[in-house]
Amino acid sequence: LFRSHKKIYFSKKITLAILGGIFIFAFFYIYRLKYYFRSGVLFDIDFFDYLEYLVSRLSQVSNISYLYEISNSFYKILINDGYHALFFLSEFILSIVPKSFLGITDYRSLDNIFGVNFINSNLDSAGFAVTVPGLFIISNEFGIVSLLLCILFILFLFKYIKSVSLKNFGHAGVCVSLAYLLYFNYSGSLKEAALYIYSLTVFRILFFLLKKRTT
């Protein structure tokens, strides 16, 4: 469909639009089968209700809107759980450093706190997307300084991931990092970002040592 330095032809755009429509209709029936396998009942789901659900799952709008409404309640829960203005930094570090080394036994991540307290209390081990804008909303509850530091920290993560990916894998790495950053923007999971950066950094160090040894 795409060639370097060439435009996508109109016929190809039409093909993409048709394939997109086919995917939406096909997934509508697959979506119904999911609940059939779960509960043994084939629910009659209105197509437009399904379409609304699909759009909400593929966008951040519903999550961000909900987080904005509950931001103050979320903030109070975080304070009670011992979080502070640099919660985003501690969340990132504690995702890499073994918590037992620091004597922490009852730590819960942001997405888990969000899920248990505001989505479904029965899903004790689950997590729900906080989103990057959601991180900004939460940090704003701690004050303007926390918000500014959070923005700078996220921008640093974006820059670092792109830079290391470029050094590790060349221009293909930039495409991979862009795909991950789009996902990270949706999930807002700092623990996933920490583990991703950790793996990239370890790979970079090992590659550097191997290259130095062979030269």
| Residues 30, 185, 63, 78, Cα dihedral to 10° | 130
Q: How many residues does the chain have?
A: 215
So what's the pLDDT on residue 3? 46
Q: Do 126 and 115 contact (CB within 8 A), yes or no?
A: yes
Task: Tell me the per-residue pLDDT of 40-54, one tens digit each, with 9 for 90 and over.
Answer: 666 677 777 666 666
Selection from 136, 85, 86, 94 nearest residue 112 by Cα: 94
Percent of the chain with pLDDT over 90: 15
Q: Do 49 and 35 contact (CB within 8 A), yes or no?
A: no
Cα separation, 187 vs 172, whole angstroms:
23
Does residue 14 register a pLDDT over 60?
yes
Does residue 1 register a pLDDT over 50?
no
138 falls in which pLDDT band (50, 70, 90)?
very high
Cα separation, 210 vs 197, whole angstroms:
20
Selection from 155, 130, 163 nearest residue 64 by Cα: 130
pTM: 0.71
Residue 121, token pair as written in the block = 């209390």
User: According to DSSP H, which parts of the chain are helical?
Assistant: 10-39, 47-57, 61-80, 87-94, 110-118, 132-141, 144-169, 171-187, 190-214
Q: Return the residue matching tokens 């906080």.
A: 130
So what's the pLDDT on residue 4? 46
